[in-house]
């Protein structure tokens, strides 16, 4: 998989930007137009925990009370990518989109992705929903939409299983719906597998070469080597 397109909203010097990516992509322009901002936005998207949390000062000037968002679309998915992404991709599509958002209201950062699902069920699949609230929402849908013929369920597992069963039986009624992911990108889909599918390394223009040139732990050179070869096999 590779990056096909990046959309940036309200991040530093870029209030609205959409950039197509190719096998080799170069940014050319005068200082201050946002070339580096694209790379910093991607660094936050992939490595936000290492780069630190964003603040309102990372928003575009004059828009500090708005959300910050970076959306990345990948294409050229292979079979291994599909296994890792699981329910987030279908056999009939060759792209996958995820977006990271910093909400102004609470300062939280979260990652979301599009999956196929039934729109009425979205509010039942939110992370960390209380069981009592889930049961109430499920019951309300049963009463309001009897034509769905949802079976009675009283536990969280049974409710989610019934929703998944219904969606599996009605693929023609599914659309792309956003689902919030409860872990960072490297822990996507409840494991660390995606980190083996795509990694982003930011080489900063102001790095101190003499401090980064050695193959020591956490150095830039070590990070690039880890991405290029199987380190354990090489050491052996």
**What backbone phi and psi angles, to 5 degrees, belong to 155?**
-115, 160
Q: Which two tokens stand for residue 212?
A: 């980064």
The first and second tokens of residue 57, run together, are 């000062």
**Domains observed in the chain:** 2-118+175-199 (3.40.50.300), 119-173 (no CATH)
Measured at the CA of 16, the angle between CA 13 and CA 17, to 5 degrees, comes to 90
Residue 12's pLDDT is: 94
CA–CA gap between residue 26 and residue 36 (Å, rounded)? 11
pLDDT on residue 183? 46
**Sign, CA torsion 37/42/44/45:** positive
Predicted pLDDT of residue 190: 47
List the pLDDT tens digit at each of the 236 positions of the chain: 999 999 999 999 999 999 999 999 999 999 889 999 999 999 998 887 566 789 999 999 999 999 999 999 999 998 888 888 877 776 677 888 888 889 898 888 888 887 778 989 988 987 778 999 999 999 999 999 999 999 999 999 999 889 988 987 887 888 877 766 544 455 554 445 566 678 888 887 766 655 555 555 667 777 777 767 776 777 77
pLDDT at 209: 58
For residue 105, what pLDDT is reported? 87
14 three-state secondary structure: strand
**218 CB neighbour count, 10 Å cutoff:** 7
Q: Which residues touch 84 (CB under 8 Å, ≥6 apart)? A: 189, 193, 194, 196, 197
Token match 């409840």: residue? Answer: 190
């Amino acid at each position: 998989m590779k990056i096909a397109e990046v959309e940036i909203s309200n991040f530093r010097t870029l209030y609205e930007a959409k950039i197509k990516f190719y096998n080799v992509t170069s940014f050319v322009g005068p200082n201050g137009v946002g070339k580096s901002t694209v790379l910093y936005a991607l660094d936050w998207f992939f490595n936000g925990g290492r780069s630190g949390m964003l603040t309102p000062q990372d928003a575009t000037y004059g828009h500090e009370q708005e959300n910050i968002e970076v959306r990345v679309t990948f294409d050229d998915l292979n079979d291994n990518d599909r296994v890792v992404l699981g329910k987030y991709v279908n056999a009939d599509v060759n792209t996958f989109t995820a977006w990271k958002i910093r909400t102004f209201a609470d300062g939280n950062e979260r990652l979301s992705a599009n999956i196929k699902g039934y729109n009425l069920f979205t509010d039942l699949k939110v992370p960390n929903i209380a069981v009592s609230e889930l049961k109430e929402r499920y019951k309300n849908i049963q009463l309001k939409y009897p034509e769905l013929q949802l079976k009675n369920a009283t536990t969280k597992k049974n409710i989610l299983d019934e929703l998944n069963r219904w969606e599996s039986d009605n693929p023609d009624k599914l659309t792309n719906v956003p689902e919030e992911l409860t872990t960072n990108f490297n822990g996507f889909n409840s494991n660390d597998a995606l980190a083996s599918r795509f990694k982003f390394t930011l080489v900063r223009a102001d790095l101190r070469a003499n401090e980064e040139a050695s193959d020591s732990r956490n150095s830039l050179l070590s990070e690039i080597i880890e991405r290029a070869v199987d380190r354990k096999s090489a050491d052996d």
